[in-house]
Structure 1
Amino acid sequence: MNPRRLTPSMSLLIAFEAAARHCSFTKAADELALTQSAVSRQVQSLEAQLGIELFRRDGRKIELTAAGALYQHELAAALGRIRSATLQTIAYKAEGGPLNLAVLPTLGSKWLLPKMHEFYALHPGNLVHIHSRIIHADIQSSASDMQAIICAGKGDWPGYISHLLLKEKLVVIASPTAVAEFRAMSPADVADQVLLNVVSRPNAWSDWFDRYNLGHRSMRTGPSFELTAHLIQAVSAGIGIGLVPDILVQDELKSGALIALFDPMESGRNYYLAYATRYQHLPALKTFSAWLLSLPFPD
């Protein structure tokens, strides 16, 4: 097949995508600053090149065909990537530009955001757009539209550069009013408490029980939460006890709103700043990563 048929001109694609999004040649023309007839001709040219009808026409009314709807869905994503790539390239000219950063929700609110005023004080011309994401083991599928990610894992993601930020330690937390005899508690006494969970850590309590050679059958499994922040709130409300990264409850522990039971346990995971190798020379990322890695981090 002729490769030219598979790569229609950008003007034809933009005209079709706008018409498909509005289901109107007239509205597409207004958006693109063209005449209605010019948009119609470009769509007809695209249909002729592809050899398939993209719209059903009924007088002035148009409606996408099944092929047209599929094409529009794929094309919208592709054009979005092209526009994003263009904006990133323009950012090089200014030696700055915004940085799109994905971060775990509770880590972002509890750990990163309180520090961002320091970054902006040093780099007032830079912008970091922070996006809360539940980031899974496959970070590419979790945040492929982001230029950088702060996430937990082992740092061995193919195609990504990663920098260690924090070693993760899990601590058992409780409300001092809900667990009145906490000072006399032993690890075995945890089995008498309702154990709250985060869905992304289904084995956390099992690992903790193994550490103290406790039987799993004695566990009283309680509700699960998608966000660690919600689990912390549930512990504060006296619903049960939780096992969370100690870095996320520093304020609550200092204020006495929550108490830590027993010593923290290393989880085997760490927090990293990670980014795809194609972004490593992005000026905004270089500025942000240099600042972030210069911060003092706890052992």
Structure 2
Amino acid sequence: MNYRKLTPSMSLLLAFEASARHQSFTRAAEELSLTQSAVSRQVQTLEAMLGVALFLRDGKRIVPTDAGRAYMTELGAALTLIRNATLQALASESRGRHHLRVATLPTFGAKWLLPRLHRLYREHPDLQIDLHSRIEDVDFSTQPLDAAIAVGDGRWPDVVAHRLYAEQLVLIGSPTVFAATRKPRRGARARAQVPGDTQRPTIDRLEGLTLLRVGSFPDAWREWCAHFGLPPNALRLGPSFELTSHLIQAVIAEIGVGLVPRMLVEDELNDGRLCSPFAPVPSSRSYYFVYPERTRHHPALIAFREWVLRELAASE
């Protein structure tokens, strides 16, 4: 096997990748600051080297062949790794030991992390934490991040994961919504107080309520019902929200009731905007601080991780 054939020059690869991404030699040339004919010649050279047609040409229009699409998928990921590695190398000197790029769940960041972050800066005035919101799983091989706060079962490949705390789901609603559903049973008197009422939920106590959901945790209501032995198909599921913060606002606006991590609604429960008539339920998920092995000994990461663990221990 000719290994030179397996390692085309970077100029050929860049010309192909840009052409496949734009499906245009002209736009690829503009991106690479080359002429259209130069890009076309480089792609032709690559095709001749590989002995494979990478594009179907129809006048000025180009479309990747099946082989071209497969090659683009693998090559695109490899070039992303190279670019990210280069960015890290270029930024390492300026970032030094005190700069950290952390992805966090949006609502956790807004409701728990940001209100406490000033204490971290008071302890470590030389630190700089760049926060990035992420709902989806973080891929450290393709995204320029040093660490992340994620929720799940702790089984992520190729990362170091520190469990922060076990999620506790609490059913929340406005006092008005819960009060409207508390009709007295025959021969019994309705209880007047909703806040603080933590008796066991029953289907009749949930009838008529719209159950709001968070898209990233579709099994929340099923888990909650299973905990109390309730049939989940007896409940009416309502709208779904991408962000937990949006669900919380919808509950305050009396659109329905929701299941959320208790730590994210402490303020609303304390000031009476929301109430929770049932005890919190343990979730199948936990929150984790995760990072790739390559950043394990990063001084800023160590400082941030230890501070988060202390803050969570104190809040519990």
Class of the TM-score when normalised by the shorter of the 2 chains: 0.7 to 0.9
| Structure ranking higher in strand proportion | 1
Asked if 1 retains the 8 angstrom alpha-carbon contact of 2:222 and 2:232, the reply is no
1:279 is matched with which residue? 295
Identity score, percent: 46
Larger mean Cα displacement after TM superposition, 174-183 or 15-24 = 15-24
Cα RMSD after superposing both structures: 3.5
Distance 1:219 1:191, change over 3 A: farther
Residue aligning to 2:189? none
CA contact (8 A) 1:170 1:243 kept: yes
Question: Residues of 2 paired with 1:199 and 1:190: CA distance?
Answer: 24
Structure 2: gaps spanning 5 or more residues: 180-191
Q: State how far apart, in whole Å, the 2-side matches of 1:201 and 1:20 are.
A: 36
Shift of 1:217: 7.2
Distance in structure 2 (CA, Å) of the matches to 1:215 and 1:27: 58
Structure 1 runs not aligned, ≥5 long: none
Query: Number of residues paired by the alignment?
Result: 293
Q: CA deviation at 1:4?
A: 2.0
TM-score by length of 2: 0.74
Q: Quick check: 2:164–2:312 contact (8 Å CA) kept in 1? A: no
**Does structure 1 conserve the Cα–Cα contact (< 8 Å) formed by 2:98 and 2:300?**
yes
Matches within 5 A, 1:118-197: 118-119=119-120, 122=124, 126-135=128-137, 145=143, 146-180=145-179, 181=192, 182=194, 186-188=199-201, 191-193=204-206, 194=209, 195-197=211-213
Q: 1:247: Cα distance to partner?
A: 0.7
Measure how far apart 1:200 and its partner are: 4.7
Displacement, 1:261? Answer: 1.9
Rounded to whole Å, the distance in 1 between the matches of 2:127 and 2:232 is: 56
Q: CA deviation at 1:125?
A: 6.2
For 2:255, the equivalent position in structure 1 comes to: 239
Counterpart CA distance in 1 for 2:290 and 2:103 is 10
Of 257-266 and 195-204, more deviation after overlay is shown by: 195-204
Scaled by the length of structure 1, the TM-score of the pair is 0.78
Whole-angstrom distance in 1 between the partners of 2:13 and 2:98:
28
Which amino acid letter does the alignment assign opposite residue 86 of structure 1? T
Q: Counterpart amino acid of 2:104?
A: V
Cross-structure match for 2:308: 292
Given that 2:81 and 2:142 are in contact with CA atoms closer than 8 Å, whether structure 1 keeps it comes out as no
1:1-299 alignment runs, 5 A limit: 1-25=1-25, 27-55=27-55, 61=60, 63-66=62-65, 67-94=67-94, 95=96, 99-119=100-120, 122=124, 126-135=128-137, 145=143, 146-180=145-179, 181=192, 182=194, 186-188=199-201, 191-193=204-206, 194=209, 195-209=211-225, 211-212=227-228, 215-216=230-231, 219-226=234-241, 227-282=243-298, 285-297=301-313, 298-299=315-316
Distance 2:98 2:227 in 1: 47
Distance 2:165 2:104 in 1: 14
1:128 Cα deviation (Å)?
Answer: 1.6
